[in-house]
Amino acid sequence: MVRRQEPGPRRPTIADIAQRAGVSKGSVSYALNGRPGVSEPTRRRILAIAEEVGWHPNRAARALSAARSGACGLALARPARTLAYEPFFAELISGIEAELSSRQVALMLQIVEDVEAETVALRRWWAERRVDGALLVDLRVEDPRVPLVEELGLPAVIVGGPGPTGSVPFFPGGDANGVSQIVQHLVRLGHRRIDRVAGSPEFAHTQLRTEVFAGALAGAGASGNVVTTDYSSAAAVEATRQLLLGSAPPTAIVYDSDLMAVAGLSAAQEMGTDVPGELSIASFDDSLICGVVRPSLTACARDVVGYGAQAARALISLIEDEPMPPYAVEPPRLVARASTAPPPGASASRGRRRTQHVVASTAEQSG
Amino acid sequence: MVRRQEPGPRRPTIADIAQRAGVSKGSVSYALNGRPGVSEPTRRRILAIAEEVGWHPNRAARALSAARSGACGLALARPARTLAYEPFFAELISGIEAELSSRQVALMLQIVEDVEAETVALRRWWAERRVDGALLVDLRVEDPRVPLVEELGLPAVIVGGPGPTGSVPFFPGGDANGVSQIVQHLVRLGHRRIDRVAGSPEFAHTQLRTEVFAGALAGAGASGNVVTTDYSSAAAVEATRQLLLGSAPPTAIVYDSDLMAVAGLSAAQEMGTDVPGELSIASFDDSLICGVVRPSLTACARDVVGYGAQAARALISLIEDEPMPPYAVEPPRLVARASTAPPPGASASRGRRRTQHVVASTAEQSG
DNA sequence: CTGAAAGCGCTTACAG
DNA sequence: CTGAAAGCGCTTACAG
């Protein structure tokens, strides 16, 4: 058989090690995999030789015989631009990747157009044995990926999933907790009319946020409207104008992403609205940009890296048929900055709080 | 041999197809791979059966016999936070991924701490035959990855590399062109004192930008300082203050990233500096955020997705031993927004230009 | 044009 | 504890 010519040094195999150690390939395999079947001295000798010759398993060979690829797949159905401007994804991938690579598992990444294309990718990966499992992000309402992985028998977990979905394990993404904290913060400042510029309603987490938002408002005796968008800055600007010019303008607006919050801030300022004097603004996801604009934006910070790591850990357990690891992700945390303050002419209900920045305090009003 | 139990439907192999077609496995392989050695009717029959049973090649088996993994690797040496706030990476990955997946090549992604860790990842991927080639990003001055891939014989290309590096093909990232365009824009507006808040000097592209920046200034009879940073907003704020409070304050500042530009804008505004009335600000990389802050930021937009796609195409050609594809990436483009205007008391040297936004035109000054 | 067979580099029951 | 061997699912010269 003719192999394509390979430049560079030849890569050693277990046969080479077996020969040098004077044992069979089987023994080498047992030794290298830490399995019983070789004496301690032999094992040590084999490991030393493997180390010396710089042996690494040929993953294709291992995958073929062990029916394991040693890789997990992540297909993302978001256009490049969204991906680029949502720090969420980069952090999530970092978390996933760190956890996987600490277990020597590789991450296969594919960026596709929509959920349908994602199902195609998942199907092919599984058919080709490219992956041992998959991570599902951005769960949709009636998501086709859930029945698919169940049909295929593909081990999968839902990252940041809002709630139980068939037999596929999910891990909360802090949406409920985060929305509650933001509303609570605003209510404490004295706001009773709080609107929200939301993301796309096709996402299950958007719906969850909407439910929790409504509940939190009702529980606090507050009220507000929700406008859904496509996450674009143009839509955020439009929604902000619409809300501020409406018959019952809010004293605070919550945005579902940092980009929309910044866009909304600019829109409000251009309309001559003082932030936070006349309008408080809060962003759901925190990011560096929230601390850089003026006024800096109050935001809900989530441990997104943690979500990724948790999901990856869980997926590996699922693949290995081990018990699920405990949920260990830090809860969302409200970062109060300069963009939120008591509403005009109102006193904060439970103790006024100074916000962190000078710019903010000058805008604070007495009740 | 006992395989781990596989839930879900059994995945068909070429043996299944051969049996159903009444031919040998070899013929099936030839037919499926579009090679000579089977008659047209047989080929069609085989393809129909493969389609019908939903056959996909077991990539591990194919990799083992063909000595090809069908995957390329990308190791990124940047902390999660940087990754998250640099739209550059997400766009680059999108471009790479789109090109690779159109050729049925998978992308393996690993995020590591530093370049040394990257060399470890590359070495292991290659030793394990996990990848057929690798993409190198963020070339450093004296980058250890270049001699490594040469030593290993690992096919590799440098993405956005500033210039020729040994035997490893590189693809320009528009740094020189982009810097030139920004300086040219500012010079045309009448600026003669232009500073730059640069990124880390360890990157080869930072050095290239610095060289081109100096040359462009000199060529235009202008002058300016360069301050290097770690890309953090804190460093950008500090550098901005330092430059504005110096003995020869600039009338324009160019930032090496959008986050730094926004931070610099806020810092200047908090010092009471009017942008663009007293100070023009330009960002090297464009992003949605540049259009959302006020004043909106003039920026140099690059076809980052194109860089990724180009590099991926080239890498595949290298692996396949085919001729290099032609360079087809759109050149950087200056997007003039509201943050740049003629300097105080100066007339634009070659014809005044109205900037695109109302906010900007109100800030324009007559000479 | 087609088939039988060897081989890729591992893992893993099965005998000794 | 150890060795010889089969097998994972492909690809590819080699005979017919």
Q: Which nucleotide C1' is nearest B15 CA? A: D9
Over residues A318-329, mean pLDDT:
92
Cβ contacts of A243 within 8 Å, gap of 6 or more: A195, A197, A225, A227, A249, A250, A253
**Interatomic distance A128 CA / C2 C1' (Å):** 27
Nearest to B159 by CA among B180, B178, B174: B174
pLDDT of residue B80: 65
Average pLDDT, chain A: 88
* Average of per-residue pLDDT across A194-222: 96
Task: Look at residue A92 and give its three-state secondary structure.
Answer: helix
Put simply, the answer to whether A152 touches B9 (Cβ < 8 Å) is yes
Entry pTM: 0.89
CA dihedral B110, B116, B120, B125 (to 10 degrees): 40
The mean pLDDT value for A178-184 works out to: 97
pLDDT < 50 positions in chain B: 1-6, 348-367
DSSP conformation class of B193:
B
Q: At a CB cut-off of 8 Å and minimum separation 6, what does A216 contact?
A: A179, A180, A183, A184, A187
Q: For residue range A200-212, what is the model confidence (pLDDT) as tens digits?
A: 999 999 999 999 9
How much is the average pLDDT of A311-325?
Answer: 93
* A259 pLDDT higher than 70: yes
Helix, strand, or coil (residue B363) = helix
In this complex, the nucleotide whose C1' atom is nearest to the CA atom of residue A66 is C11
Q: Which two tokens stand for residue A93?
A: 């991938």
CATH superfamily assigned to domain A175-301+337-366: Response regulator (3.40.50.2300)
Give the percent of chain A with pLDDT over 70. Answer: 91
- Give A248's strand partners: none
Tell me, what's the pLDDT at B105? 94
Q: Which residues of B301-314 are buried (b: 16+ CB within 10 A; e: fewer)?
A: bbbbbbbbbbbbbb
Strand D–CB B57 distance below 7 A: yes
Residue pairs between chains A and B whose CB atoms are closer than 8 Å: 189
pLDDT at A36: 85
Nearest-by-Cβ selection for A293 from B6, B55, B293: B293
Q: In what order do the strands lie in the sheet with A194-198?
A: A226-228, A194-198, A252-255, A280-283, A298-301, A333-335
Single out the residue of A322, A307, A319 nearest to residue A158, CA to CA: A307
Same fold flag, B14-64 and B70-171+304-322: no
Interatomic distance A272 CA / D16 C1' (Å): 89
Q: Say yes or no for a CB contact (<8 Å) between A7 and B84.
A: no
pLDDT tens-digit map of B117-154: 999 999 999 999 999 999 999 999 999 999 999 999 99
Look at the alpha carbons of B169, B172, B176, B177 in this order and tell me if their dihedral is positive or negative: positive
CB atoms within 10 A of CB A333: 15
- Is the Cβ atom of A2 within 7 Å of strand C at any atom? no
In the block, which residue shows the tokens 């839930």?
B7
Q: What percent of chain A has pLDDT over 90?
A: 74
Of A25, A123, A113, the closest CA to residue A73 belongs to: A123
Of the listed ranges A335-344, A346-355, B72-81, B170-179, the one predicted with least confidence:
A346-355
Q: Which of residues 28-47 of B touch strand D (CB under 7 A)?
A: 29-30, 32-33, 35, 37
Mean per-residue pLDDT, A344-365: 43
Q: What is the CATH number of domain B70-171+304-322?
A: 3.40.50.2300
CATH architecture of A14-64: Orthogonal Bundle (1.10)
Phi, psi at residue B261, to the nearest 5°? -65, -45
Selection from B303, B290, B301, B291 nearest residue B264 by Cα: B290
Nearest-Cα distance to chain A for B265, in Å, is 9
**Residue B101 CA to D10 C1' — how many Å?**
21
The distance (Å) linking the CA of A23 with the C1' of D3 is: 8
Which residue in A has a C-alpha nearest to residue B289's C-alpha?
A: A259
**CB-CB under 8 Å, A71 with B108:** yes
Which has more pLDDT, A241 or A82?
Answer: A241
Which residue matches tokens 């980058």?
A: B143
Name the nucleotide nearest B64; use CA and C1'.
Answer: C8
CB A196, CB A227: distance < 8 Å: yes
- Residue A351 above 60 pLDDT? no
8 A C-beta contact, residue B302 and residue B275? no
Residues of A within 8 A of B63 (CB-CB) are 60, 63
- The vertex-B73 CA angle with B71 and B79, nearest 5°, equals 150
Which amino acid makes up residue B183?
Answer: V
pLDDT range class, residue A80, cuts 50, 70, 90:
low
Rg, Å, chain A Cα set: 26
Looking up tokens 């509940």 gives A215
Q: Where are the domains of chain A?
A: 14-64, 70-171+304-322, 175-301+337-366
Q: Which of A15, A218, A115, A87 is nearest to B81 (CA)?
A: A87
